[in-house]
Each structure stands twice: as C-alpha cells, then as structure tokens.
Amino acid sequence: MNHIIHSVSRVAPARALFVTLSLALASVGCNQPPPAATKASPTACADYSKRICKETGDESPTCTSIKTATELMPPEACAVALTNVDFAVKKLAGKRKKCDDLVAKLCADIGPTTPTCDMVKTHTKTFPPERCDMMMQHYAEVVADLKRQEDRNKPLAPEKLAKLTEGDVAQFGPANAKVTIVEFSDFQCPFCSRAATTVEQLRTKYGDKVHFVFRQFPLSFHQNAHTAAEASMAAKAQGKFWEFHDKLFANQAKLDRASLEGFAKEVGLDVAKFKKALDDKTFAPAVDAEQKLGEEVAVDGTPTMFLNGARVANPTDYDAVTKQIDAVIKAGGG
C-alpha cells in the first residue's frame, strides 16, 4: 500500500492549521463570550486537541495541526471551543467520509476479514481526506496492488513449505519440530544481519523445538552477495557453515574475495579446497536454484522468513517472532 500511497500526490493543505478550531469558535457567535468571572482550566487546550485527535487519529495531519494551533491559544479560547466541540467533531466526520468510503470499498474487494483489510483500516486513519480522494481516483491501481499483497501474505501450501525444507540445505533443529522456520537471506543485507541475531536468540531459547532452514537470496544490487553465498556453501561442504555464516554477518563491509579467503582460514577450512570451489563457481548453480525457489514463493527482498508457512511480518523483531512461535507451540503445532 505504501507504494500506491507514494505514487499519488500528497495534499497537505496549509490552511488546515486553524480551520477546525476556527469553525468551533465561529459557531459560538460573537455575542456569546464566556462569563468574565469564569476561569478556564489550564488543560483546556490539551483537552480540546485530545478530543479532536480521538476522532482523527493521533498520527493524522489534522491532529498534528490542532496540537500546533492549541499550543498558541490561551486557555480561555480553548475553553470556548470545548463548549462546542461536537460541532467540530461533526465537521470532521463529514470530511472523513471520503476515507471511510475508501476503506469500505477496499475491504469489500479485498475481503473484510483479511490482514490487508486490517492494515488498510489502520493506515487510512492517518490520511488527510484529500489523499483518500486521490486514492479513490486511482482505485483500480490501489486495489490491484493490495490484492497482490494479500496473495503474497497468504500462508504457503504444505507442499510449497515442504519444497523449501527439502534437500541438502543449511539447517538446525529436528525436521519433526512443531515449528519450522525458513529464512531467505543475503549476507550483504544489514537487515539480514539483525535477523541472524534474532535467529541465534531463537536457537538459544527454543533448542530442538524449532527447525530452522537457511536459504540463499543474494540481491542483484549487492556486489559481493552472490560470491559470499557461494563461499558459505563451500564452507558448508566442509562442515563449517554456521561458523562461516557468523563471520560473514559480523564483517559485512569486508566481503571481497580476499576477505572471504581470510575468514575461511579463521574458521579452519581447507583454504585451497575453498579457493578452488570459488574459482570453479562450484556452488553458483545451487545459489541460483535457492534464489529461484524464493521467487516461487514471492520473495522479493531480504530477510524474508516463513514460520510454518506463514510469512513473518518483521524477522528482525525477536519479541514479535517469539510471540508467533509461542502461539504455534501452545496450539500444538498449528
């Protein structure tokens, strides 16, 4: 959805800064000032902005504008606005109708119970009405993108998950564990390094309760990623995959050929055999095959992680991943 959001014009009306507050004040009438003896609460402005932000969402441009405006207002003026805040709320509801209509239409087409519909509901709260109007004008493109995203996020069929775990692949944990995690990774990707830290924490926490499979997915714009992937497979052939894996992620700025050979020596590989494998491109076809496997399950970036076939939203977030694992274990394997 972010791709579509940024592909249409962002409308940020400067006049919105004082509009809602001005409407509320204007509705009171110039002949109805508050009694001179009434002392406004020092929290009147904060209370007013809080009430408006409740309707628009804390991250919305309207909420930000109101907070900015009320910071400049005396409490007495905000107290007047508070006496007629329902007027402003009603006006906002009218303006938000475009966004409400957009959400209703998208969720009807995508599926009202889908995670993508929930995402639309959450993010649209932060949109100004003008953006919702622009997205409605580009509706066909927006809904097509969201449908692709929904298809991408569907859990893998059992036969597809099985295909990801078969063969002579880098892995740890028993194949019959209740939880199977498959990660597609790139040794030059900084986010993959964070995911590697998460995986090591998972290994420590869960032991043989988790079966973890590592798959290669070197991105084309990472100059050294493919050779590093080949090198890790050469290390695996000598029984030192995880030691070499850790070396690569700890030294992502040094993945040139000379450095790879240095790491091979440090982890105790037969360096001559290692160098020959790289010279002969022995493992290049295997790396390409794993990348193709990833593409078959809609991997388009790294790290991408599947937990019992379900795509993990943020593989670098240890707490989030453990929450998913615990839920599966509690349910008896999902």
Q: Are 186 and 110 found together in one domain?
A: no
Q: Are 42 and 182 found together in one domain?
A: no
Q: Are 142 and 245 found together in one domain?
A: no
Q: Are 225 and 101 found together in one domain?
A: no
> Of 151, 179, 207, which one is at a domain's C-terminal end?
151
pLDDT of res. 25: 38
Q: Are 33 and 175 found together in one domain?
A: no
Q: Are 140 and 169 found together in one domain?
A: no
> Of 94, 129, 151, which one is at a domain's C-terminal end?
151
How many structural domains are present in the chain? Answer: 2
Q: Are 101 and 180 found together in one domain?
A: no
Other beta carbons within 10 Å of 115: 15
- Residue 185, H or E segment: strand 179-185
Residue 235: CATH number of its domain: 3.40.30.10
Token digits of residue 22: 């001005």
Q: Are 192 and 220 found together in one domain?
A: yes
Please state, in angstroms and rounded to a whole number, the distance separating the CA atoms of residues 172 and 138: 47
Instruction: Please provide the DSSP assignment of 66-131 as one string.
Output: HHHHHHTS-HHHHHHHHHTHHHHHHHHHHHHHHHHHHHHHHHHHH-TTSHHHHHHHHHHTTS-HHH
Please state, in angstroms and rounded to a whole number, the distance separating the CA atoms of residues 264 and 276: 12
pLDDT of res. 38: 54
- Residue 18, H or E segment: helix 16-28
Q: What is the pTM of this model?
A: 0.64
Sheet arrangement for strand 179-185: 170-172, 210-216, 179-185, 304-307, 310-311
Can you name the residues that pair with 181 across neighbouring β-strands?
A: 212, 307
Q: Are 131 and 207 found together in one domain?
A: no
Could you list the pLDDT tens digit for every one of the 334 residues in the chain? 544 444 443 334 333 333 333 433 334 444 445 555 457 889 999 999 998 888 777 777 788 888 999 998 999 999 998 998 888 888 888 778 889 999 999 999 999 988 889 889 988 877 888 889 999 999 999 999 999 888 888 899 999 999 999 999 999 999 999 999 999 999 999 999 999 999 999 999 999 999 999 999 999 999 999 999 999 999 999 999 999 999 999 999 999 999 999 999 999 999 999 999 999 999 999 999 999 999 999 998 999 999 999 999 889 999 999 999 999 998 874 4
Which range of residues forms the domain containing residue 19? 2-151
Q: Are 181 and 302 found together in one domain?
A: yes
